[in-house]
Amino acid sequence: MDTKILDGGMGHELRRMGAPFSRPLWSAEALIKAPQMVVQAHTAFIEAGAEIITTNSYACVPFHLGDELYAERGAELADLSGKLAAEAAAQAGKPILIAGSLPPPMGSYRPDFFDAALAQPVTRTLYRALNNYVDLWLAETISSLEEFDSTAEVLSSTDKPVYFSFTLDDDSSSPRLRSGESITAVVERVSKSNATGLMFNCSIPEVMTGALQEAKQAITALQSALQFGVYANKFTPIKSTQDSRSQEIEMREIGPEEYVRFADTWRKLGAEIIGGCCGIGPEHIREIDAWRRQLSAK
């Protein structure tokens, strides 16, 4: 099985590089004030071995921009994120796929914040802004099946590959979404959509293994052809009351070699796409690339 390498966490890489970065704007601030630094961040991941880069559109939503700035510039900034990813890909000197990031419109980790009537127009705006630039769609950090249904409706007519990526409850003894819904229920719902793949992201690495195991069992039972992917974060476990817009979430130490040990387990469970989320930088992606090369040489 060939493993494709996804990039790492764009927001934290921009921050590490010294790009303009403050809450609540988060990674959108670099689009506004230092767009070339976004290209540099993409390039850092490409040079580390990423074959798929993700548009820096995660914060191009009212949750981060605020209602006024989103209304004025949300679509423009999302379009710019697509242009910058395309610029970095064109400079790479090797084939690079661009994934269009469709983030949680109402904010990460909080299924209780979700309102489909407000969220779906935001997703449609990002979809239209990014469509001319991307090779595939990556609907990220989905916390509930209600959120999935809303995003899936927007993506139902695309002719590009679609990957739906779910965030997991970091504190649960058994794998489940942050809404409490089961992984089996996720597989059953995603299998009925136009999805190419099912992924898990922005949760601690330890919870990914159980989720993949349950997903694999459900996919086998359904005889589904869904691909798997994983990109974990470096955060401490995120509590149900935390708000990514206003609260700083504490980082933990997960070095590149340790992260690769997780990646090896995910690959053995069927993950075909592996990358990183918040706090996983080019150094981790470089180690994943070296690990994959070693596997190919065997």
| pLDDT computed for residue 297 by the predictor | 80
| pLDDT computed for residue 247 by the predictor | 63
Count of CB atoms within 10 A of residue 103's CB?
23
What range defines the domain where residue 25 resides? 4-297
How far, in Å, CA of 143 to CA of 242, rounded?
13
| pLDDT computed for residue 173 by the predictor | 86
6: helix, strand or coil: strand
| Strand pairing report for 227-232 and 136-142 | unpaired
| pLDDT computed for residue 243 by the predictor | 66
How far, in Å, CA of 292 to CA of 275, rounded?
12
Tokens 């691909």 correspond to 227
Spell 11-32 as b/e; 16+ CB within 10 A means b. Answer: bbbbbebebbbeebbbbbbbbe
| Strand pairing report for 227-232 and 271-276 | parallel
Alpha carbon distances (Å) from 260 to 90, 191, 254, 265, 283: 28, 29, 10, 9, 11
| pLDDT computed for residue 238 by the predictor | 87
Tokens 């071995």 correspond to 49
| Strand pairing report for 227-232 and 162-166 | unpaired
Residue 102: strand pairing partners? 139
Cis ω on the peptide bond leading into residue 175 (within 30° of 0)?
no
Q: Look up the CATH number of the domain holding residue 102.
A: 3.20.20.330
Mean pLDDT, 10 residues at a time, the chain of 298 residues: 92 95 93 98 98 98 96 98 98 97 94 94 98 98 98 98 98 94 98 98 97 96 95 90 69 96 97 97 98 88
Domain count, the chain: 1
Counting every residue, how long is the chain?
298
Alpha carbon distances (Å) from 136 to 72, 90, 115: 27, 16, 25
The conformation of residue 292, written as its DSSP 8-state character, comes to H
Structural contact between residues 117 and 146, judged by C-beta atoms closer than 8 angstroms: no
**What phi and psi values does residue 135 have, to the nearest 5 degrees?**
-95, -25
